[in-house]
Amino acid sequence: MGEIETQHKRLDTDLCAIVIGRNGDSFCSYATDLLAGYDIKFIRCGDIYTAFAEFAANDFANVLIVGNLEQLSAEDGLFFRSIKKGGSFCCCFAGGGSAQMQKRVLLAEQAGSLVINQRAELEKIIARLNRSSNSFARDKFRTTKAERDALLGV
């Protein structure tokens, strides 16, 4: 699966992600690599305004929003509140501890978003959401070499 190019086109999927970040953003590149590894469809948006449009145009049943806290907390946390109303899950990467960042963390947490400080935490979140979604996990029906050998009588 992987990245989907959309211009407000509906997606038919149980679990999808919107990754928000500018080109060259290392956290967003890390997130898209993880999502592709789990075979989860995702949309990459350069900013929250594009993400708002995609989110509004799609009727997502189960969506994970991923991005840097600094960008997602723009407009005094309006994005967080909007996502919460839509029933989606938002995961933000903070990676800092300034006073301004603490205010942003509070905005995110008050809206039910998860704030992480280490990139590696994202993989645990994606794995958990992937298992709990109604979609078929890529590895669910994959057979091991021993199982294939047994089926083939080798």
Report the pLDDT value the prediction gives residue 30, as an integer from 0 to 100. Answer: 94
Residue 35 in tokens: 């999502």
Rg of the Cα trace of the chain? 17
145 class by beta-carbon count within 10 Å (0-12 exposed, 13-18 middle, 19+ buried) = exposed
CA distance 27 to 92: 10
Question: Cβ-count burial of 146 within 10 angstroms (0-12 exposed, 13-18 middle, 19+ buried)?
Answer: exposed
Distance CA 54, CA 69 (A): 19
> What does the pLDDT average to over 67-85?
84
Split at pLDDT 50, 70, 90, the class of 28 is: very high
User: 49-53, 129-133, 141-145: which has the minimum mean pLDDT?
Assistant: 141-145
CB atoms within 10 A of CB 61: 16
Class of the CATH domain delimited by 16-152? alpha beta
pLDDT band at 139 (very low <50, low <70, confident <90, very high): very low
Q: What are the backbone dihedrals phi and psi of residue 33, each rounded to the nearest 5 degrees, phi first? A: -65, -45
